[in-house]
A and B are shown apart, each in its own frame.
Chain A
Amino acid sequence: MEKQSKSYFIHLAHQLRFDLGDKEAQDITDEFNILIDQMDLLNKIDTQGVEPMVYPFEEPTSFMREDVVNHVLSALEALKNAPSSKNGFFVTKKVVL
């Protein structure tokens, strides 16, 4: 796997809207690159013919929730973290897909 530079993590942090100090950026870069080395070790293992394991347990579960309303937020609570809201709506810049 490809190693990443410090500037890559600073760029990522910026995109995710939080600040990353110089030391933090260096630490995270070092840790990430160690992880990548470990992944490379795992990549060397021969997994030919081995089914991928998605869940940490082999047995399926059986629980399903009853169709009951048990928790709802007020609009005020729902909008609490929204940077911008109007008339009870979350508001973003216009994005039409």
Chain B
Amino acid sequence: MKYEVVIGIEIHCELKTKSKMFSGAPVVYGAQPNTCVNEIDLGHPGTLPSLNKEAVVKAIQACMALHCEIDPLVRFDRKNYYYADLPKGFQITQQFHPIGTHGYLDIETSDGLQRIRINRLHMEEDTAKQYHVEEESWIDFNRAGTPLIEIVTEADIRSAKQAMAFVDKLRNILVYLDVTDGKMEEGSLRCDINISLRPENTDAYGTKTEIKNINSISNIEKAVASEITRQSALLEAGEEVQQATRRYDDVAKDTIMMRLKEGSVDYKYFPEPNIPPIQLAQSWIDQIKVDLPELPDARAQRYSSLGLNEYDIKQLVQNKALSDFFDILIIGVKNIKLAANWSCGEILGALSQKQLEQKSYALKISELRAMINALSDQIISSKQAKEIFPYLLKGESYDHVVTSLDVSQVSDESILKQLVEEVLNENSQSIIDYHAGKDRALGFLVGQLMKKSKGQANPALSSALLKTELDHRKP
């Protein structure tokens, strides 16, 4: 039997704020345990939550990028459960009135363009992190109270590839908004993927499993694909899929059962009495829209209008830090395509992602720009540029390197004419080819001349001199 795959995704995303959702304690990743907490995060009696405005701004930005309707009356609810990761005994969330609803995100895969509907986007607080050590659980409350948004899709996704494309695109948008750092490996973006199979052309959903703990974008596709294979094998064998939470094991390349799901837990949700409803002014919301940063699709369009090809656009837009670097580089650059080549090539090779993100490099972008312009004007050759570049990386200025390396180009006509003579004498066939209209012949001759000059001949001048001499030697 043929099966249709049905996938819905829930994404928890930690917001990049300085302080917690409801307290003035700091949000820091990787700090010493229990050093980023105060009484509110620890759920001490008598404390009251106070909503972080920046978290609301970031949630609204995410809503706007995902085309959600925004509820201007912010309301919170309590989700009650008793577990050590939640010191208050409840999590403050938005069960009944999510800030965003009815959104969508269009993704593009080899299946074509597809609209994935967003059911809801709501704000909540993160829980503590637990480490299970032998017979004990060790608890670090630093993460408790970190602002989160949870984004829930409709079950519109139909393959592992689409699931990956969706999370990848969503993650990139959130990173562009500076809503989150989006680091899956650090848990600042976590996705739970619900997967079920049903016979083709039927409506009823099959029994679903939920995959958690996926730590990279590429593992999404692997995890979903392996779970689809596992479920179809079960169904083909006439067995049933058990409703369960599973995790993806990167080594076993398979999903592994964590726990069976027995009915749904009753969280006894009720409105959070300690946070009265907060009315957001429409003008305030409108201003957030005006200030919305450029999103990946818009940036791709801008690059397209600059004349970049699709490959370069994709390379740049996928990597916001690199793309931001490129945007500074092209202010006053003479050859955009050359700037894109250098950004996606040498820069990406020489600087780490972390250096790009933190702008922690000695290279001065203005000096790289000067070099690219010189290259574009054929004042230097690309071979010379590659010699100069390592010095620019160390923070040296272009002018200084050119002087000290003595890489100044040979533009002396008498020297070049000598080389032109030599090259033409050695390549008589190319002269015939040139006059027979073969354009490639000239390129070949320029190449030979550059070789003779050890890359130091001025290419534009050499080319012109070659042409003149070729015309003299017309058979």
Interchain CB contact under 8 A, B24 and A75: no
Instruction: Name 25 A/B residue pairs within 8 A (Cβ), A-sorted.
Output: A54-B271, A55-B273, A60-B277, A61-B279, A62-B278, A64-B278, A66-B53, A67-B19, A68-B19, A68-B24, A69-B24, A72-B38, A73-B39, A74-B35, A78-B34, A78-B37, A88-B34, A88-B140, A89-B34, A92-B137, A93-B135, A93-B137, A94-B133, A95-B83, A95-B84
Indicate if the CB atoms of A89 and B25 lie closer than 8 Å: no
A91 interface residue (CB < 8 Å to B):
yes
> Are A89 and B139 within 8 A (Cβ)?
yes
Contact A55 B53 (CB under 8 A): no
Q: Closest Cβ of chain B: how far from A77's Cβ, in Å?
A: 9
Report A-chain residues with C-beta under 8 Å of the C-beta of B276. 55, 57, 60-61
Assuming the contacts A54-B271, A55-B273, asked whether A71 and B25 have C-beta atoms less than 8 A apart, the reply is yes
Note all chain A residues with C-beta closer than 8 A to B33.
75, 87-89
Contact with A along B12-52 (1 / 0, CB 8 A): 00000111000111100000111111110010000000111
A97 at the interface (CB under 8 A from B): yes
**Cβ–Cβ < 8 Å partners of B136 in chain A:** 86, 91-94
- For chain A, residues 28 to 85, give those with C-beta under 8 angstroms from any C-beta of chain B: 54-55, 57, 60-75, 78-79
List, in ascending order, chain B residues with CB within 8 A of A61's CB. 276-279
B56 at the interface (CB under 8 A from A): yes
Q: Are A88 and B139 in contact (CB under 8 A)?
A: no
Partner of B279, one of A62, A65, A71, A78: A62
Enumerate chain B residues within 8 angstroms of A70, measured Cβ to Cβ: 19, 24
Whole-angstrom CA separation of A92 from B131 in the bound complex = 11
A90 within 8 A of B: yes
Known: A61-B278, A75-B32, A78-B37. A92 touches B139 (CB 8 A): yes
Residue numbers of A with Cβ under 8 A of B are 54-55, 57, 60-75, 78-79, 86-97
Chain B's nearest CB lies how many Å from the CB of A66? 6
Min CB gap B148→A, angstroms: 15
B24 touches A71 (CB 8 A): yes
- A60-B277, A88-B33 known, 18 other contacts, Cβ within 8 Å: A54-B273, A55-B276, A60-B73, A61-B276, A62-B279, A64-B51, A64-B278, A66-B54, A69-B24, A72-B26, A72-B38, A73-B25, A78-B35, A89-B33, A89-B131, A92-B136, A97-B83, A97-B259
A55 to B133 Cα, complex, angstroms: 43
In the assembled complex, how far is the CB of residue A85 from the closest CB belonging to chain B, in whole angstroms? 8
B residues within 8 Å of A by Cβ? 17-19, 23-26, 32-39, 42, 50-56, 73, 83-84, 131-141, 259, 271, 273, 276-281
Residues of A within 8 A of B50 (CB): 65
A90 and B278 form a contact (CB under 8 A): no
Q: Given contacts A64-B56, A69-B25, A90-B138, are A96 and B132 in contact (CB under 8 A)?
A: yes
Contacting pair A63 B271 (CB below 8 A) = no
Q: Which residues of A contact B140 (CB under 8 A)?
A: 88-90
Shortest distance from the beta carbon of B140 to any chain A beta carbon, whole Å: 6
- For B54, the closest partner residue in chain A by CB is A67
Report which of A55, A78, A93 forms a contact with B141, defined as CB distance below 8 A.
Answer: A78
> Which has the most chain A C-beta neighbours within 10 Å: B34, B35, B278?
B34
* Residues in B whose Cβ lies below 8 Å from that of A73: 25, 37-39, 42
Q: Which among A66, A75, A91 is the interface contact of B35 at CB below 8 angstroms?
A: A75
Nearest Cβ in chain B — how far from A56, in angstroms? Answer: 9
Kindly state the separation between the CA atoms of A60 and B38 in the bound complex, as whole angstroms: 27
Nearest-Cβ distance from residue B123 to partner chain A, whole angstroms: 12
- The residues of B that contact A79 with a CB separation of less than 8 Å are 34
Asked if B278 and A69 make an inter-chain contact with CB atoms under 8 angstroms apart, the answer reads no
Give the residue among A65, A91, A93 with the most B Cβ atoms within 10 A: A65
CA distance A88 to B140 in the complex (A): 8
CB of A5, distance to nearest CB on chain B (Å): 24
A60-B175 Cα distance, complex, nearest whole Å = 32
Closest Cβ–Cβ distance, residue A74 to chain B (whole Å): 7
Contact present for A68 and B18 (CB under 8 Å): yes
Q: Which residues of A contact B54 (CB under 8 A)?
A: 66-67
Closest A residue, CB atoms, query B35: A75
Please give me the residue from chain A that is nearest to B20 by CB atom.
A69
- Are B278 and A67 in contact (CB-based, < 8 A)? no
A88 touches B32 (CB 8 A): yes
Give 5 nearest A-B pairs by CB, closest first: A67-B54, A70-B24, A64-B53, A89-B138, A60-B279
B37, B51, B138, B277: the one contacting A72 at CB < 8 Å is: B37
State in angstroms the CA–CA spacing of A11 and B18 once bound together. Answer: 44
- Residues of chain B lying within 8 A (CB to CB) of residue A97: 83, 259
Contact between chains at B83 and A94 (CB < 8 Å): no
